[in-house]
Structure 1
Amino acid sequence: MYKLITAVLFFFSLNVFANEVNSHSNLTNYLEKIRTQNDIPAMAVAVITSGEVGYIKGFGYVDEQLTEPTTDESLFRIASISKLFTAQAIMKLVEQEKLSLNDEVGQYLQAFKRFHITIKQLLTHSSGLSDMIKPVSFDEGRSVKSYLDLVSETIPRENESNSFEYSDTNFNILGAVISSVTGKSYEEFIYGNILKPAKVRKSNFYDGKNAYLSETNPTYKGKLIDQIDQRPYDLAFNPSEGLVSNVYDLSQWLKLTLGNDPSILKKQTYEAMLDPQVKTTWGEVYMALGWQVYRNEDGNVARHPGSIRGYKSLVLAYPENKNAIILLTNSSDTPRWEIAESITEILKQNSEW
């Protein structure tokens, strides 16, 4: 009987392994096919299944000479996925009772004293603020304070809007609040309280001095975007779009987040960040606290896409079963929603999700 049970278990394990190999092979073939069809020079994908990284791989090359293959540690500009880190940092300060979501921004930033804009409104893109001020090159020497002053000058004195308007400005201001409250730079606080606990290997922000620049170059229709047309690195925009990262580091952070790991936040805080707050203009999608949330046939979904000139990215998570997809590319033409849907279908067909 013991030998029979052992044989059955061994046979079952082989079948599971074979299905896993088959699904991963199908996934790799599909991803490489869609990469070449869409002229995506470099792409990296990580899949988290039941809280563990089940698949992670780089595709294509990071250089024009096609000599350096993309890996799971190749650095990309992840664009607006950066906002999720800013949101977690704000919630860390809420846990520490150093600020409240209902506090007005003017309590922490002099430039916004005359406006009744709350921290929560910034987190949910319901402050009424638009992206009137654009990023500039670090070499131009514009300080974060100068940026904030420019923003405050564009706000109507009677600004009272509570309607949804997605805006980088909201999160750039949150970054300045973090710095004001902690007495540290935004970048230092994020690294010490989120990136370091996640044990990232390479991720960080460019600060004008360090080497944290993307290893992949921005492209459009397979062609490198001219330097003059590339999105500049601007310190004031680090909280909304500045993190330079890779799928390995992001998968380690997302594992902790989906697992409600206390090294970053408390369980109730993670859960509170997923509560729908403000209806967006994107169908049935709601803004939660940083996350964009909705329901589909697979349950609750939490997401955040990222897009700047020459880069497209996506984090798509199913918090209830701790499944997630991370996609990073250096192309403006990436069909990221189609890719995420196809990844999900491939895994579901093989009963991995």
Structure 2
Amino acid sequence: MYKLIIIMLLTISSNVIAGKANTQGELTATLEKIRTQNSIPSMAVAVISSGEVTYIKGFGFLDEMKTKPTTSESLFRIASISKLFTAQAIMQLVQNDKLDLNDKIEQYLRPFRNSNITIKQLLTHTSGLNDVIRPVSFEEKRSVYSYLSLVNNSASKNIEDKKFEYSDTNFNILGAVISEVSGQKYEKFIYDNILKPASMERSNYFDGINSYFSQTRPTYKGKLISKVDQRPYDISFNPSEGLISNVRDLSQWLKLTLTHDTSILKEQTYQKMLEPQVKTTWGEIYMALGWQVYKSENGNIARHPGSIRGYKSLVLTYPASKNALILLTNSSNAPRWEIAKSITEILRHNSQW
């Protein structure tokens, strides 16, 4: 009987291992096919199942000569996924009683004296502010304070009906609030309180002093975007789009987020961040606090896509099951949703999710 039990356990174990290997092979083949069909030079993917990384891989190459393969540690501009880090930083200050979601930003930022905009409105893109002020290159030496003044001067003074309007400006202002309340530069606060606890060893921001740039270069349909047309690195936009990272580091952070690890936030704070607040203009999708949330046939989803010229990215999570995927690309034409759907279908078909 004892031998029979051992044989059964070994058989089950070998079948599980074989199943995982087959799933990984199918994922790799499918993702590489999508990459080549869409002329995506560089792509990286991570999959988290039940709170653990079960698949992580780079695709394509970092250079035109195809001598430097993309790996799980290759750096990309992750674009608006950066907003999730700003949102978590704000919620750290909230849970530590440093500020309140209903505080008006005039309490913290001089350029917004007499403004009725609240922290919560910025987090949910209901401030009434839009992206009239665009990023500029670091060489223009525009300070964060100058950027905030330009935003305030360009804003309508009679905004009464503050409907949802997705805007980088909201999170750039939140970054300034974080600096003011914490007494630290935004980038230093994020590093000390999120990147370091999450062991995001290669992730950081360009801050005008370091030379922290993406290893992957921006493209469209396989062609490198000319330097004059590339999205500039602007420190004022770090809170909304500035994080440089890779799927290895992001998966470390996302594991902690999905499992409600207290090194970043308290249990109740993670939960609060996922509560729907405002309906967006994107169908049945709602803004929570930083996250975009909605219901699907497979359960509740919390997500955030990222997109700037030459880069598309996505974090898609199923909080209840602690499943998630991360996608980074250096292509404006990358079909993020097709890729996410393909990954999900493979994992569900092979009973991995």
Common fold by TM > 0.5: yes
Q: Secondary structure of 2:4's match? A: helix
User: How far apart are the structure 1 equivalents of 2:303 and 2:160?
Assistant: 28
Query: How far apart are 1:212 and its partner, in Å?
Result: 1.2
Deviations 1:230-265 (A, max 9, x none): 000000000000000000000000000000000000
CA contact (8 A) 1:114 1:157 kept: no
In structure 2, what is the equivalent of residue 339 of structure 1? Answer: 339
In structure 2, what is the equivalent of residue 325 of structure 1? Answer: 325
In structure 2, what is the equivalent of residue 118 of structure 1? Answer: 118
Query: How far apart are 1:159 and its partner, in Å?
Result: 1.8
Q: Which runs of 5+ in 1 are unaligned?
A: none
In structure 1, what is the equivalent of residue 209 of structure 2? Answer: 209
In structure 2, what is the equivalent of residue 62 of structure 1? Answer: 62
In structure 1, what is the equivalent of residue 84 of structure 2? Answer: 84
User: How far apart are the structure 1 equivalents of 2:298 and 2:270?
Assistant: 20
Q: Secondary structure of 2:236's match? A: helix
Q: Which runs of 5+ in 2 are unaligned?
A: none
User: How far apart are the structure 2 equivalents of 1:277 and 1:149?
Assistant: 28
Deviations 1:35-63 (A, max 9, x none): 00000000000000000000000000011
In structure 2, what is the equivalent of residue 53 of structure 1? Answer: 53
User: How far apart are the structure 1 equivalents of 2:111 and 2:209?
Assistant: 27
**1:74-223 matched pairs, under 5 angstroms:** 74-223=74-223
User: How far apart are the structure 2 equivalents of 1:140 and 1:169?
Assistant: 19
In structure 2, what is the equivalent of residue 42 of structure 1? Answer: 42
Q: Secondary structure of 1:179's match? A: helix
CA contact (8 A) 1:42 1:216 kept: yes
Deviations 1:93-131 (A, max 9, x none): 001100000000000001111110000000000111010
Q: Secondary structure of 1:328's match? A: strand
Query: How far apart are 1:65 and its partner, in Å?
Result: 1.4
Deviations 1:288-308 (A, max 9, x none): 000000000110100000000
User: How far apart are the structure 1 equivalents of 2:136 and 2:162?
Assistant: 29
Q: Secondary structure of 2:65's match? A: coil
Q: Secondary structure of 1:94's match? A: helix
User: How far apart are the structure 1 equivalents of 2:196 and 2:143?
Assistant: 26
Moved over 2 A (4+): none
The one-letter amino acid of 1:237's match is F
Query: How far apart are 1:162 and its partner, in Å?
Result: 2.4
The one-letter amino acid of 1:75's match is L
The one-letter amino acid of 1:131's match is D
Q: Secondary structure of 1:254's match? A: helix
User: Is 1:282 the counterpart of 2:282 in the alignment?
Assistant: yes
The one-letter amino acid of 2:128's match is G
The one-letter amino acid of 2:329's match is T
Q: Secondary structure of 1:39's match? A: coil
Q: Secondary structure of 1:312's match? A: strand
* CA RMSD across the alignment: 0.5
Deviations 1:121-142 (A, max 9, x none): 0000011101000000001100
**1:223-262 matched pairs, under 5 angstroms:** 223-262=223-262
Query: How far apart are 1:211 and its partner, in Å?
Result: 2.4
Percent of paired sites with the same residue: 70
User: How far apart are the structure 2 equivalents of 1:112 and 1:300?
Assistant: 37
CA contact (8 A) 2:195 2:201 kept: no
In structure 1, what is the equivalent of residue 16 of structure 2? Answer: 16
Deviations 1:200-220 (A, max 9, x none): 120000012212100000001
Deviations 1:7-52 (A, max 9, x none): 0010011111111100110000000000000000000000000000
The one-letter amino acid of 1:228's match is V
Q: Secondary structure of 1:145's match? A: helix
How many residues are aligned here?
A: 353
Query: How far apart are 1:160 and its partner, in Å?
Result: 2.4
Q: Secondary structure of 2:17's match? A: helix
The one-letter amino acid of 1:274's match is L
The one-letter amino acid of 2:43's match is M
The one-letter amino acid of 2:156's match is P
In structure 2, what is the equivalent of residue 272 of structure 1? Answer: 272
Query: How far apart are 1:158 and its partner, in Å?
Result: 1.4
The one-letter amino acid of 1:83's match is K
User: Is 1:303 the counterpart of 2:303 in the alignment?
Assistant: yes
Q: Secondary structure of 1:130's match? A: coil
TM-score, with length taken from structure 1: 0.99
The one-letter amino acid of 1:169's match is T
CA contact (8 A) 1:116 1:160 kept: no
User: How far apart are the structure 2 equivalents of 1:234 and 1:167?
Assistant: 16
